[in-house]
Chain A
Amino acid sequence: MPDVTLIIDGRTVTVPAGTNIVDAARTTEVAIPVFCYHPKLKPVGMCRMCLVEVWTPLIDQATRQPVLNPDGTPKLGLMMGKLQPGCVTPVAAGMVVKTVTDKVQFAQRGQLEFLLSSHPLDCPVCDKGGECPLQNLTMQFGPSTSRYDYQDKVHFEKPIPLGDTIYLDRERCILCSRCVRFQDDIAGDPVLGFDSRGRSWEIISKSDPPFDSKFSGNTTDICPVGALTSSDFRFKARVWEVRPVPVVCTHCPVGCNITLDMRHDRLMRVMPRENDFVNEIWNCDKGRFGMRHVDDATRLTTPLVRRGEQLVPASWDEALRVAAQGLMRVRSSAGATALAGMIGADASNEDFALFRHVMHGVLGTPHLDHRPGGPADVALETASARFGVSSGTNLLGLGTGTLVLLVGADPEEEAPLYVLRLRGIVARGGQLVTVNAHPTKLDGSAARVVRVAPGREAALIQAVVCGILDGGAPMSSRARGIDRLRTSLKGASAVQLAAAAGVEFEVVRALTDQLISAPNMIIMIGRTGLAQGSAVSDAVGALAAVTGAFGRPGSGVIALNPGGNARGAQDLGIVPGEGGLAAAQYWDAIARGELKAMLVAGLDPATLGAASASALDALDFLVVQDAFLSDTARRADVVLPCAMLPERDGTFTNAERRVQRSRQARQAPDGQRAHWQILQGIAAALGSDPGYSVSSDVTDAIAAQVPAYAGARYTSLGVTAGDWGRQANESVYYDGTSYTNTEGTGVQLPTGVERDGLPPVAAPLTPLTGGVPTGTLAVLVPRAYDGRDWARGSKLAPRMVPPHVIVGPADAGTLGIGVGEPVTLTSARGSVTLPAQIDRGLAAGTVLIVDVAGFAAADLCGGVITSVDVARGEA
């Protein structure tokens, strides 16, 4: 859009046409006070705080020419003869805006007096006090006394719960609708609304359970008063007492920038920290309210070693020595390949480096993995490494011209913040296409929803690839291996593949047209896709290759490998080496007597099912590093208590290959140690101490040794890239209370292509042309609220999803099952009975089993998709 030049308080400003006056003023550091306006939300002009004088050139009605003053300057008139709300008034050429005049100040004082006339002024006991826009703006623009009688104020019942996480104080609410608009427009969970009118107008929750949204906490940040407060932080601390420590959320592959607000060494609250490359100014409730486990009373406090049936406390020295000796003993007797190790995907890059050093470097085993070893384990994919989004990709910058293709992915459950990021792309004019075997929340934002048969995502993508290759459609020649790809698909046709996917060929054709005409394409592949061997990720890679959607900013593949740092684990070699087994193969190998000792860090495979549990029992020696005495830890010979997120420094790599650093907020309460420190201790006991003293030494060692990480030195990660127009002193009332990023926005690693300049190779595909599977298929689907360790002590505890099975209306009808009634599923592995939920969008023959705590998935499922018999269960 063309630029417009205008004058604001005597300063000449040039901004794009369509900019509103409030935003235009901010560019020249003129702060127009606002309440309802928020730069991320559509302006509504409700609160009338932003009133300013807007003078525009007068036009002679007859000649259509500007009227001139005697001195030749254009004569100005006050727009509509009154003050105008700056947030909804677009700039125009020649405009003169005055934000400091008697008239404006009278209005500003007036609106503040009005707002305070129904405000309880309970700042001394209000959680918002100290970071409250109403307080700040009253001090700056308001009257110092009120002429409104206190007894005339409206009174409501003091805070009422709006949901499990949020309280509403209707007396404090200034009815700006930011919360409602956030839920409607940004989160896409339109669960809040208004009821009644006039002064009785009030915010209500319209959903059951109330405030049913994974993003509810953000409303407390943008609420310009203390009307919305979180049950997690209420009355915990005054905000000026807390010390915000910048960390990275490790609950999922998004890697939101957050702060841990500490008072001394206690965690008071979790807040988002702005990073426009990752989470903008938001985070999800799991990240915000799911950190209380760090203060859980059941945390392990000391190392434990086994004495017969019992685990007894031991000193670190002793425990590390016992661990090292135990591992060495098995290695000496049975060889290095009798050892295996696994470390959870939310550990840091430094943890991974030391893990690899101990298990591979020192002990020499190829059996390393970061996956949990269960039926939902993802295959190691290379699509996101070869065709991954290029450096410089920022989803916040994408809109018109961008198509996002989601394949076997449910971001709301796997990586919640991507819901916001992708909805943002749609709001800016982009398109979303979802390809899944079952409904997901983002279907509601999608331009096209393609429903495939379970496990047939790959067939659908192959059909598209085949169609593009057959059609001779414009095709990128930049990828290598296209000829081999073409040959590999020879025997198959797009029609056959569409049929195999269970999708009308017309839909495939329309989808193909849509994909090839999109200038930018992001392909996001989720757990369900990634867990089907390499079929889906190879197909997705091929699609990127034939459409040219790689190697430039704004295009490429993003893989939602589960865990906060699965990308880092893969980059740092926490994957099966030469001849190495995958975690899911460990249990049989133990049963066969091939594996005899294990080191398990931050994972709890004993809960996966009977096979892994008895395998762990059968080990000669087991070392476990964990924060809690997990089912796996109970079986261990040595248990080493690990430090948790607040207690450690580290770097983490997110799904878009952004390496970000997380700072230590406190000393571990009982001397627990970070995984890398524990591992270094074991290495030392084995005589190979690498001698790092702080985590950043390891970070820099990684940068020096791993080519992809060359740019990710500890200091470069601390550079704050991006000026998002926040002016720290005002940000509270423009943007809310999310913190400004001062501690580094991280470094996006280059893709392989960018490093070596060689075009990526498309893998040949194996056409999936079999008929659509008959019988019932169960899909093991992820749930964000899975009830695992993070949920301890969380206000979200009531929202944890219990084990259940989801059936479609047709199957429910056939089987005569109602909501909550038992359903028995029987597979080749076994049989379970679970209560039923009904999802009206689910096709007959597909059932979903939620992958949550309390359900031993491996006892029923052989993989992410399992053929089952479904029957009514015994009550």
Chain B
Amino acid sequence: MAPSQAIFSRSRAGQESEQQFMPPLTEHIVLRDLDIPDIGDPEVYHRHGGYAALRTVLTEKTPAEVVALVRDAGLRGRGGAGFPTGVKWGFLPKDSYPRYLLCNCDESEPGTFNNHQIIDRNPHQLIEGVAIAAYAIECHTAYIYVRGEFAAGARTLERAVADAYRRGYLGQNIMGSGYDLDIVVHRGAGAYICGEETALMESLEGKIGQPRLKPPFPAIAGLYGKPTIINNVETLTNVPMIIRHGAAWYRQYGTAKSPGTKVFSICGHVRRPGNYEVPFGTPLRELVEADYYGGGMRGGRAVKIIVPGGASSAWLTADKLDTPMDYESLAAAGTMLGSGGVIILDETVSAVELAYKMDEFFKHESCGKCTPCREGTTFLVRVLHRMNHGGGRASDIPLLHDVYNQMAGNCFCLLGESAVVPIRSALRLFPGEFEQAIERAAASAATLRANAIPLVTH
């Protein structure tokens, strides 16, 4: 049965679907603003146990114990790579200070918008997470780098940070523990590449936002050349709850290798786009179809393309809807969980146009540092542009294959590698659409020729 029909019937009549979906979480770990109205208010946050985890940590735990707890919980970085957070924190070279903590809120991956909701609605939990992480890695200055376009969110966060200072959760001698921490909210100037950890550091240092050569890795030489840990907003927002409830509690959610919950940003042609926090391993179909999540496809149309982890992740087709949404299962399906931005598109979408739009994005955001990304994205976009506008040529298909292969594996950073993904997915999954585009172009050229008024008549 086509998924769209199932959704149609269910949402229409409110009947039991033949699909058995897990009920939604009754208590969230990250999106607690859904459970507790006004949790962004420091009073409310405090009443609901806010900053208790920070107090516990500062008064009862050593930094090493915090690192161990987070490692035991199996928390994985939500910024894209899913790297175990506790392990990352353990990479810092011994006795090398000062250290810095950076919280990555550059959230620019197309289809991804959960960090925005966190800073907007639940900023104190993030601040508490940043403070705990800072204590764990023994640093005294943390920066939250906020995407330039998030003006209102950044203001909310700045206010929340100011509140936290006022209430003694930040600043000197926090809660009498002798631990000092400053948090600086820094706004970017609107560049996707500044979400890449080293470009973010360059940008924070006041330089042009471009990735640095690695090694050295940030844990050894990061911001201002000092050991630095960088984590995503969602990653750090999990931390207070892990401290409060323990590793075992956390691991009751999700899978053994991908523990906990994940906030997926669902967008595209679903009825109810939005952020949904679900345990790792929840099937993709559930996110699309359950009426408390995506709510099915708009107009009952069929799913054509799923981009499961932001524009950088390889596309899936409807036959992969039963894939569980965790790092391992998505990797096995040939794609990745990435940023957790799930884009669901229906059959009205042309694969050629989608590839064009997505690569247009990467071209626009290419920092220009390396040849294959700077020139390759432009090349791809030019060819895709003509293909989309009735100018495709027979030679364009092998050309597109060559161009992305000339980029793949050869770029300086992952942005360029990501630009390969949409075009490669499109050509792999929908080769016919490219051929049709070329045929259409040939036909219209022939028509044009036929209708042309001859310059010379006899």
Contact = CB atoms under 8 A, between A and B. Distances in A.
B371 A115 contact: yes
Contact of A110 (B374, B377, B410, B412): B410
Interface string B195-213: 0000000000000111001
A149 B378 CA distance: 12
B376 interface: yes
B379 interface: yes
B372 interface: yes
Contacts of B187: none
A117 B379 contact: yes
A199 B406 contact: no
B409 A197 contact: no
A108 B366 CA distance: 21
Q: Which of A44, A114, A117, A201 has the most CB of B within 10 A?
A: A114
A198 B382 CA distance: 15
A750 B121 CA distance: 78
Contact of B370 (A48, A109, A149, A152): A48
A148 interface: yes
B371 A197 contact: no
A764 to B, nearest CB: 49
B372 A198 contact: no
A201 B368 contact: yes
B191 interface: yes
Interface string B336-369: 0000000000000000000000000001111111
A51 B374 contact: no
B364 to A, nearest CB: 7
A613 interface: no
B379 A148 contact: yes
A199 B370 CA distance: 10
Contacts of B444: none
Interface residues of B, number: 33
Contacts of B379: 114, 117, 148
Contact of A114 (B191, B371, B409, B412): B371
A45 interface: yes
B390 to A, nearest CB: 15
A183 to B, nearest CB: 15
A174 interface: yes
A352 B211 CA distance: 58
Given A82-B410, A148-B382, A106 B405 contact: yes
Interface in A108-162: 109-111, 113-115, 117-118, 147-149, 152
Contacts of A81: 409
Given A48-B412, A51-B410, A149-B382, A118 B375 contact: yes
A46 B413 CA distance: 10
A45 B412 contact: yes
B106 to A, nearest CB: 15
Nearest to A111: B371
Given A174-B371, A197-B366, A198-B368, A107 B410 contact: yes
Nearest to B378: A199
Contacts of B406: 106-107, 109-111, 113-114
Interface string B179-194: 0000000000001010
B399 interface: yes
Contacts of B409: 81-83
B175 interface: no
A716 interface: no
B368 A199 contact: yes
A106 B193 CA distance: 27
Interface string A67-90: 000000000000001110000100
B378 A48 contact: no
A200 interface: yes
Contact of A48 (B368, B372, B377): B372
A6 to B, nearest CB: 19
Interface centre among B363, B371, B382, B411 (most CB of A within 10 A): B371
A194 interface: yes
A152 B374 CA distance: 14
B64 to A, nearest CB: 26
Interface of B is mostly: helix
A271 B213 CA distance: 33
Contact of A201 (B374, B395, B405): B374
B221 to A, nearest CB: 14
Contact of A175 (B208, B364, B368): B368
Interface in A195-217: 195-201
B402 interface: yes
Contacts of B209: 197
A118 B373 CA distance: 13
Contacts of B382: 148-149, 152
Nearest to B416: A48
A147 B365 CA distance: 24
Nearest to A194: B208
Nearest to A112: B371
B235 to A, nearest CB: 25
A247 interface: no
Contacts of A107: 406, 410
Interface in B393-451: 395, 399, 402, 405-407, 409-412
Contacts of A47: 370-371
A645 interface: no
A168 to B, nearest CB: 16
Interface string A167-209: 0000000110000000000000000011111111100000000
Contact of A49 (B371, B376, B395, B399): B371
Contacts of B376: 114
Contact of A147 (B399, B405, B410): B399
B375 A117 contact: yes
A49 B375 CA distance: 13
B368 A118 contact: no
Contacts of B374: 114, 175, 198-199, 201
A117 B406 CA distance: 13
Contacts of A201: 367-369, 374
A114 B372 contact: yes
A118 B371 CA distance: 10
Contacts of B402: 110, 147
A199 B405 contact: no
Contact of A46 (B208, B364, B412): B412
Contact of B213 (A44, A48, A51, A83): A44
B213 A110 contact: no
Contacts of A51: 410
A195 B209 CA distance: 10
Most chain-A Cβ atoms within 10 A of its Cβ — which of B364, B379, B405?
A: B379
Among A45, A48, A200, max chain B CB count under 10 A is at A48
A152 B379 CA distance: 9
Given A47-B370, A117-B379, 8 more contacts: A45-B213, A45-B370, A82-B409, A114-B374, A115-B371, A117-B378, A147-B395, A198-B367
9 contacts: A47-B370, A47-B371, A114-B374, A115-B371, A115-B375, A175-B368, A197-B193, A198-B374, A201-B368
Interface of B: 191, 193, 208-210, 213, 363-372, 374-379, 382, 395, 399, 402, 405-407, 409-412
Nearest first, the 4 closest Cβ-Cβ pairs linking A and B are: A110-B406, A201-B368, A82-B409, A114-B375
